[in-house]
Amino acid sequence: MIQPVNGHLLIDPIKHEGFIATQSDTYEEVGIVKEIAKEISLSSELQVGDKVYFDSWLAAKFPNGKDFYWMVKWEDIRAIEHVE
């Protein structure tokens, strides 16, 4: 797995399934944290597995075979829901 740097988080966005089979996937602006840049993990209470709310327009998406890596800057995270 890739390691985010420069204040980024690797996010697994929650997909919203469409009702029509031909409709492309859309994403809620909610995702699960997969990896955290070291400088963030040292300065926050954020943990892998936490749910984050973010602006998907500001996220960077990089191809990963049949899917994408989603990188979100720490400052673009709007809210956190910690894992219990």
Number of domains comprising the chain:
1
What is the separation, in whole angstroms, between the first and last Cα of the chain?
25
Q: Is residue 8 over pLDDT 90?
A: yes
Q: Is residue 33 part of a domain?
A: yes
pLDDT of residue 77: 93
Q: Is residue 2 part of a domain?
A: no
Host domain of residue 73: 8-17+26-81
CATH number for the domain including 68?
Answer: 2.30.33.40
Give how far Cα 35 sits from Cα of 20, 22, 56, Å.
Answer: 33, 32, 17
Q: Is residue 22 over pLDDT 70?
A: no
Q: Is residue 62 part of a domain?
A: yes
pLDDT single digits (tens) 29-80: 899 999 999 988 777 789 999 999 998 888 999 998 888 999 999 999 999 9
- pTM for the model stands at 0.81
Q: Is residue 3 part of a domain?
A: no
Place of tokens 């709007």: 78
Q: Is residue 30 part of a domain?
A: yes
